[in-house]
Structure 1
Amino acid sequence: MAITFKTVAESEVTISELMLPSHTNFSGKIHGGYILSLLDQIAFACASKHSGAYCVTASVDTVDFLMPIEVGELVTMKASINFAGNSSMIVGIRVEAENIQTGAVKHCNSSYFTMVAKDDNGKNVNVPGLIIRSEKELHRIHKSIKRMELRKERQAHASTVHLTTSTADISKKYKIKIDLIA
């Protein structure tokens, strides 16, 4: 079967939504959980558009809330495929909030979702490769590969962790009191 390819632009998705009082947390700012829900939706749309298949969220790698979002701001999310593997894709999402009265725009969040394409029986399906047409897209590919390598390193390290730091060192260095019950 021939490998197919798509440009990054062919799968880009942008959504905008006005933030309402019903989206707020107890401090009056837009609830992070609400933004996460929107992020998952746009990641699904972008990955499904690229793959032509139903997609599921495999992991969320990095969700940095940089600035609070206020009621009445227009939130715009821009998603693109940053990397395509066999059946998985890394979707990069940028979140901006615009004060619609002043026009001021702020970068509020950057996130990276790994999405996996599935068939009707829940089996992984191959996704198209990526055609890179700009330095920016090439930079995103390199960053995605680096994040994948770091994740594999963390996973390998987590499975081989040994208690090499003494209990006294932990108690001095961190805000931890160790009081083991036998």
Structure 2
Amino acid sequence: MEKSMANKREVLLRFLAEPTDVNFGGKVHGGAVMKWIDQAGYACAVGWSGYYCVTVYVGGIRFYKPIFIGQLVEVKSTVVHTGTSSMHIAVEVSATDPRTGTQKLTTRCLIVFVAVDDGGDTVPVPRWTPETELDKRLEQYAIHMAKARKEEEAELQAIPL
């Protein structure tokens, strides 16, 4: 990967919602939105780490408003916390009606990627340090969610399936 591409904290994808993205109700499929979230998160993780990355967790996904055909979709992904090899990325999806210019937040979530080498082993990623109060709040949220995931996983492992 080119050095100029590494350590990019934010990625913004923009495109139009297309008829192939729509469900039977006439709105963009939740699965299509989840795919866009993963793609934007991946681009952000690779841009930050400079390595191939794999998704290890998507959590707290919340759908607020529907997206319709022809709306301009923006998927913004931002590194909000780094571990040794992991990157916690906040993702927001919004849609704009091109006729009115009205933009609405449609979806939010936190997604975690891990950087890996060609053999699939984890590799260290550059540390991200929060600079603003918002950065600090976002990092604290990511840390809180990581603790909650560990507790949830331990609870699940204790239940025989």
Q: Report the TM-score when normalising by structure 1.
A: 0.81
For the residue of structure 1 that corresponds to 2:93, the secondary structure is strand
User: In the TM superposition, what is the alpha-carbon distance from 1:142 to its structure 2 partner?
Assistant: 0.3
Q: Distance in 1 between matches of 2:69 and 2:21?
A: 8
Give the partner amino acid of 1:26: F
1:152 to 150, 153, 157: 150
1:100 to 73, 98, 101: 98
Q: Kindly report the root-mean-square deviation, in angstroms, between the aligned alpha carbons of the 2 structures.
A: 1.6
1:121 to 119, 122, 125: 119
Aligned pairs, number:
155
Q: Distance in 2 between matches of 1:134 and 1:80?
A: 14
Give the partner amino acid of 1:93: V
Give the partner amino acid of 2:31: G
Deviation string, structure 1 residues 12-53 (Cα, Å, up to 9, x no partner): 000111011121001110111111111111111000011010
Listed as ranges, the matches of 1:1-182 within 5 Å are 10-160=8-158
Decide which structure has the larger Cα Rg and report it. 1
Amino-acid identity (%): 34
1:166 aligned partner: none
Q: Report the TM-score when normalising by structure 2.
A: 0.91
Q: Distance in 1 between matches of 2:132 and 2:54?
A: 28
Runs of 4+ in 1 over 4 A off after TM superposition: none
Deviation string, structure 1 residues 84-128 (Cα, Å, up to 9, x no partner): 001111111011100111011111000111101011111100000
Q: Distance in 2 between matches of 1:158 and 1:122?
A: 26
Q: Distance in 1 between matches of 2:158 and 2:11?
A: 40
For the residue of structure 1 that corresponds to 2:100, the secondary structure is coil
Q: Distance in 2 between matches of 1:72 and 1:11?
A: 29
- Unaligned runs of at least 5 residues, structure 1: 1-5, 163-182
- Unaligned runs of at least 5 residues, structure 2: 1-5
Give the partner amino acid of 1:113: I
